[in-house]
Amino acid sequence: MPDAPGLELIAHEINTRHEGSVLGTTYDHEQAALLIGPDSALKVLRYLKEAPGQEYSFLASLHAADYLPRTPRFAVHYELLNMARVERLRVKCLIEDPGEDRLPETDSVTGIFPTAEFHEREVYDFFGIVFRGHPDLRRILMPEDYVGWPQRRDFPVGGDPVIFTNTEDEIPGWTKGS
């Protein structure tokens, strides 16, 4: 785990090579995270995987979060691991909500980490975040014909009202008489 100064060094190194790709850093509970934009995910992750001295060669997890009502609303989290040094680094790719009809987009990292394929399908399944360049982007856990993105914060919680014998009179068309 890089400490807070180490994290700043990494951010500075990336920004000298790819100008303006790291938007900021957070260091909470001894966990280091880089904040990046949706367009720089590919080059940042490729640098962290391949550059000498970094070599975060293992993508432990890829998941998303919905920060509604904050903006940018969505973030895709990449949990990187250097197995030789046992160091973990989190990269948060912040994505704006493009509006009602369109889906948020970012680049797929399956070219760098092949394990990201199913993870990105899961993120697409639950958050509706589209990964450009993904080889087979379709739902993975929910039914194929499901409509909606159920892990978003504006997705309604809870199922349908349940009909009990004491409430069935209030449901029109349920009892024979009504």
Partner 1 sequence: MQRGILDEEALEEYVQERVITTTFDKAVAWARGNAMWPATFGLACCAIEMMSMVSARYDTARYGAEVFRASPRQADMLILSGRVSIKMAPVIRRIYDQMLEPKWVISMGACSSSGGMFANYAVVQGADKFVPVDIHVPGCPPRPEALMYGILKLRNKILGEPDLGWRDQYEGHGTEEGLRSERAGAISVERAGSAPADGRLVGTATPTAEQLATEARMLAAAEDAQRPISDDAGVPGPDRDLA
- Residue 135 and residue 109 in contact, taking contact as beta carbons nearer than 8 Å: no
Half-sphere CA count of 39, side-chain side, radius 13 A: 5
- With CB under 8 A as the contact rule, the residue among 102, 155, 169, 178 that binds partner 1 is 155
Options 25-33, 87-95, 101-109, 145-153: segment touching partner 1 (CB under 8 A)? 145-153
Q: Strands of 74-82's sheet, edge to edge? A: 22-28, 31-36, 87-95, 74-82, 58-66
Burial 28-40 (b: 16+ CB within 10 A, else e): eeeebbbbbbbeb
Q: Does 138 bind partner 1 (CB under 8 A)?
A: no
Options 45-53, 70-78, 105-113, 139-147: segment touching partner 1 (CB under 8 A)? 139-147
Q: How far is the CB of 135 from partner 1 (least distance, A)?
A: 24
Size of the site for partner 1 (CB under 8 A): 14
Alpha-carbon torsion angle 157, 69, 30, 84, nearest 10: 80
Q: How far is the CB of 127 from partner 1 (least distance, A)?
A: 13
- Residue 62 and residue 123 in contact, taking contact as beta carbons nearer than 8 Å: yes
- CB nearer partner 1, residue 47 or residue 149: 149
Q: Does 162 bind partner 1 (CB under 8 A)?
A: yes
- CB nearer partner 1, residue 133 or residue 148: 148
Q: Does 176 bind partner 1 (CB under 8 A)?
A: yes
The two three-digit tokens of residue 139, written as one number: 């739902």
Half-sphere CA count of 116, side-chain side, radius 13 A: 28
Q: How far is the CB of 162 from partner 1 (least distance, A)?
A: 4
Q: Does 148 bind partner 1 (CB under 8 A)?
A: yes
Residues that bind partner 1 (CB under 8 A): 142-143, 146, 148, 150, 155, 157-160, 162-164, 176
